[in-house]
Amino acid sequence: MTSSAAPASLEVSGLAFAYPDGHQALFGVDLTVGRGERVALLGPNGAGKTTLVLHLNGILTGGAGSVKVAGLPVEKRNLAEIRRRVGIVFQDPDDQLFMPTVREDVAFGPAASGMRGAELEARVHKALERVGMAEYADRPPHHLSFGQRRRVAVATVLAMEPEILVLDEPSSNLDPASRRELADILRALDVTVLMVTHDLPYALELCSRSVILSGGTIAADGKTADVLADDELMRTHRLELPFGFDPRAAAAKA
């Protein structure tokens, strides 16, 4: 019997990759993320997390294995569409904001793909509304707080209406209020989320599933509360919870 179900947002199969200097960063990664899932990608520094993320929209290619986004292979002929579907929000928002105003930054991607006029204006307004930044559309990005700039960086990606939102350390350098505001925004989004983070309580708060990447392979994949509560697993892969933080108790309160 054939299934009419839509393909997974992300299918990584046997992905291996070595850099030109010979450093092997990935050793056969298999990962499937279903549509609408929110998954935390955890692991120590040097585990291969950034290398994996850069394969999702074809910035890195040429290794063994395959990557598909919504059933579409990540290969040269599909790169324009893949890069529309996979939106990466970098750790430093200033890497993404370079135009004179917030509005122009958020419009840049859709305009580059050919959108104009009222359609473009509506797309920009919708993206800024989703991150609570519509009233700042005419502000220069450098006049905003760090937390506000991060929200605008998210809007620049949402304006492309991606299939997958990839967030690199989204809570880093945020004060508690900005951290909570961003969490509220991310929970409300109807897109697939892959969140790369060292902030383990944030992973528990936002992602029901967590994957540990360590030494270039998937070391664990399960419910976030279960992964974080496995003391031996956490020690083995150099992951530490904040002092006194009980993931099972926190999950029960959620």
**Which two structure tokens, joined as six digits, stand for 124?**
């920009």
Residue 76: DSSP 8-state? G
Is residue 21 within 8 Å of 29, Cβ to Cβ? no
**pLDDT bracket for residue 244 (50, 70, 90):** confident
Task: Identify the architecture of domain 10-253 in CATH.
Answer: 3-Layer(aba) Sandwich (3.40)
Is residue 247 within 8 Å of 204, Cβ to Cβ? yes
Residue 5 has pLDDT above 80, yes or no: no
Structure confidence by residue, pLDDT tens digits, 54-70: 999 888 887 899 999 99
Residue 88, classified by CB atoms within 10 Å of its CB into exposed (0-12), middle (13-18) or buried (19+), is buried
- pTM of the shown model: 0.91
Across residues 75-98, what is the average pLDDT? 92
Dihedrals φ, ψ of 53, to 5°? Answer: -60, -40
Across residues 153-158, what is the average pLDDT? 96
Is residue 226 within 8 Å of 220, Cβ to Cβ? no
Distance (Å) of CA 29 to CA 6, 93, 100, 213, 223: 22, 28, 41, 9, 19
Structure confidence by residue, pLDDT tens digits, 95-121: 999 999 999 999 999 999 899 999 999
Bridge partners, 24 (sequence order): 18
Out of 45-59, 125-139, 204-218, 238-252, pick the least confident: 238-252
Q: What is the mean pLDDT of the chain?
A: 92
Domain ranges of the chain: 10-253
Per-residue pLDDT, 4: 54
